[in-house]
């Protein structure tokens, strides 16, 4: 017999209007999965892109529960789970889009199942809301620096410093990867917000274009899909990564993040000593009943940091 829970889901691809709220089965556990009682979740652009049909060819079955980021408490475990136990407070990105494809069960639900390899123990100094804001964006930013083979003392230009990935990329560059100079772009209304994250240079993109920036950088990390223009600020031998444009500039690399609980563990000490701090959009957290409004805000492009959903009642 299926146990039922409350969830947000959709039965067809389309705009926000296809989202429904109602009863949904609690997922059955695989041998290496844990069942997490969701205490907080967070939205990412990939959530509405998936709903709009970006992954139509993956064979995803309806109905689909959206959501990648989760923070919560383990309430059950598969037979072969070895790293976690019931009662553990955990967080992670449960979706692995570049390996097995999107899951039918996301995180906008009361309970979700996730492979133990994708989660980590929640840092003790973080709330569930703060922890839920981290996984996908933090791992995406982390993987960008790793793919660029970024070396301490190099310089980085981050396009879109106000977003979920951009705001964490600034912190990673400053405190983890040891950048000697961090420059970033943002819109006029977000300049002061981005300055507080600690970059050396904040550029209002309405006042200065890329070709007006004379300095060249070792690494251009484009989080908004603008590499066909932003490539001009890279050194001749510089690395360019564009995470939002699957057809980037020929010099740029595109990738889809590979989620990993061990990668979150790599950053635990930086999180617990508050070198890395969550950046949650000030309009939230949004109540579980208000997911439609949360998506509306995210899709408007006005979000600063991560859009968080909590509590999950």
Distance CA 24, CA 22 (A): 7
Mean pLDDT of the chain: 96
Confidence band (pLDDT; 50, 70, 90) for 1?
very low
Q: Of how many residues is the chain composed?
A: 313
The predicted pLDDT at position 188 comes to 94
CA-only gyration radius of the chain, Å? 19
The predicted pLDDT at position 46 comes to 93
Query: Could you check whether 4-134+279-309 and 137-253 share the same CATH topology?
Result: no
pLDDT tens per residue, range 141-164: 999 999 999 999 999 999 999 999
Q: Rounded to the nearest 10 degrees, how much is the dihedral formed by the CA atoms of 37, 72, 44, 92?
A: -110
Tokens matching residue 55: 């992954």
Distance linking the first and last C-alpha atoms of the chain: 23
The predicted pLDDT at position 2 comes to 74
Least confident of 46-60, 115-129, 133-147, 268-282: 46-60
The predicted pLDDT at position 214 comes to 95
Q: Is the pLDDT of residue 55 over 80?
A: no
Confidence band (pLDDT; 50, 70, 90) for 309?
very high
The predicted pLDDT at position 102 comes to 86
pLDDT tens per residue, range 73-100: 999 999 999 999 999 999 999 998 877 7
Beta carbons of 211 and 150 less than 8 angstroms apart: no
pLDDT tens per residue, range 237-254: 999 999 999 999 999 999
The predicted pLDDT at position 169 comes to 98
CATH architecture of the domain with residue range 137-253? 3-Layer(aba) Sandwich (3.40)
pTM here is 0.95
Can you state the percent helix, strand and coil of the chain, rounding each to 5? 30, 25, 45
| Average pLDDT score over residue span 272-280 | 95
**CATH superfamily name and code, 4-134+279-309:** Medium-chain alcohol dehydrogenases, catalytic domain (3.90.180.10)
pLDDT tens per residue, range 163-198: 999 999 999 999 999 999 999 999 999 999 999 999
Tokens matching residue 36: 């997490």
Domain ranges, ordered by start, for the chain: 4-134+279-309, 137-253
Beta carbons of 26 and 5 less than 8 angstroms apart: yes
């Amino acid at each position: 017999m299926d146990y039922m829970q409350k969830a947000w889901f959709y039965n067809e691809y389309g705009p926000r209007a296809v989202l429904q709220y109602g009863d949904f089965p609690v997922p059955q556990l695989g041998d290496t999965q844990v069942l997490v009682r969701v205490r907080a979740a967070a939205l990412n652009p990939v959530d509405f892109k998936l709903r709009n049909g970006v992954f139509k060819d993956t064979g995803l079955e309806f109905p689909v529960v959206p959501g990648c980021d989760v923070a919560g408490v383990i309430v059950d475990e598969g037979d072969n789970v070895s790293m976690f136990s019931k009662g553990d407070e955990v967080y992670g990105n449960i979706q692995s889009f570049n390996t097995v494809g999107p899951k039918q069960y996301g995180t906008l639900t009361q309970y979700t199942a996730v492979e133990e390899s994708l989660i980590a123990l929640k840092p003790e100094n973080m709330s569930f809301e703060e922890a839920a804001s981290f996984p996908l964006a933090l791992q995406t930013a982390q993987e960008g620096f790793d793919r660029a083979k970024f070396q301490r003392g190099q310089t980085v230009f981050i396009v879109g410093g106000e977003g979920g990935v951009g705001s964490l990329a600034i912190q990673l560059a400053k405190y983890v990867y040891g950048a000697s100079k961090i420059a970033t772009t943002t819109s006029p209304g977000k300049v002061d917000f981005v300055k507080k994250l600690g970059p050396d240079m904040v550029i209002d993109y309405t006042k200065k274009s890329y070709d007006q920036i004379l300095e060249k950088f070792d690494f251009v990390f484009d989080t908004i899909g603008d590499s066909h223009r932003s490539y001009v600020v890279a050194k001749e031998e510089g690395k360019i990564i564009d995470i939002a444009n699957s057809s980037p500039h020929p010099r740029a690399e595109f990738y889809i993040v590979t989620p990993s609980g061990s990668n979150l563990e790599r950053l635990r000490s930086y999180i617990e000593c508050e070198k890395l701090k969550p950046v949650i959009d000030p309009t939230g957290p949004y109540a579980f009943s208000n997911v439609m409004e949360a998506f509306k805000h995210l899709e408007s492009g006005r979000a600063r940091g991560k859009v968080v959903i909590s509590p999950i009642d």
